[in-house]
Amino acid sequence: MSRYSLIGCRSERHAEIDPNSQRAALSSWACSECHRNLPGQHLQDVQLSHTALGSQPLMGSFGLYVGFYRRAFLDQLCDSAIDQHFRHAAVLGPNGKPYRDWIVAVAHNRIVVRGSDLPEHNYCPVCGALRYVTRGGIFLYPAPPENIDIFDAGGGPLVVTEKVVERILEYRWPKLAVTELGVAPRPLDGFGTLPLRRLPSNANTSE
Ligand SMILES: [Zn+2]
Flag whether 170 is in a domain.
no
C-alpha 198/C-alpha 34 separation (Å) is 14
Task: Output DSSP code: residue 151.
Answer: E
Flag whether 70 is in a domain.
yes
pLDDT of residue 202: 60
Q: How far is the CA of 163 from the centre of ligand 1 (A)?
A: 32
C-alpha 179/C-alpha 182 separation (Å) is 10
CA geometry: angle 101, 26, 85, nearest 5 deg? 45
C-alpha 9/C-alpha 153 separation (Å) is 13
Flag whether 34 is in a domain.
yes
pLDDT tens track for 12-54: 889 999 999 999 999 999 999 999 999 999 999 999 998 778 8
For β-strands 61-62 and 114-117, DSSP reports them as unpaired
Flag whether 87 is in a domain.
yes
* 147 Cβ contact list (under 8 Å, min separation 6): none
Length of the chain: 207
Beta partners for residue 183, in sequence order: 140
C-alpha 25/C-alpha 46 separation (Å) is 8
Total domain count, the chain = 1
- Identify which of 133, 142, 85, 141 has the alpha carbon closest to the alpha carbon of residue 109: 85
Instruction: DSSP for 10-26, please give it.
Output: S----EEB-HHHHHHHH
Q: How far is the CA of 1 from the centre of ligand 1 (A)?
A: 32
Amino acid present at 61: S
Q: How far is the CA of 55 from the centre of ligand 1 (A)?
A: 31
Q: How far is the CA of 62 from the centre of ligand 1 (A)?
A: 15
Q: How far is the CA of 90 from the centre of ligand 1 (A)?
A: 22
Residue 203: pLDDT band (50, 70, 90) is low
- Buried-exposed string 175-192: b where 16+ CB fall within 10 A, e elsewhere: bbeeeebeebeebbbeee
Q: How far is the CA of 127 from the centre of ligand 1 (A)?
A: 4
Flag whether 169 is in a domain.
no
Flag whether 15 is in a domain.
yes
Flag whether 165 is in a domain.
no
Residue 207: pLDDT band (50, 70, 90) is very low
pLDDT of residue 79: 86
Amino acid present at 151: F
Flag whether 98 is in a domain.
yes
Is the predicted pLDDT of residue 130 greater than 60, yes or no? yes
Domain that holds residue 54: 11-106
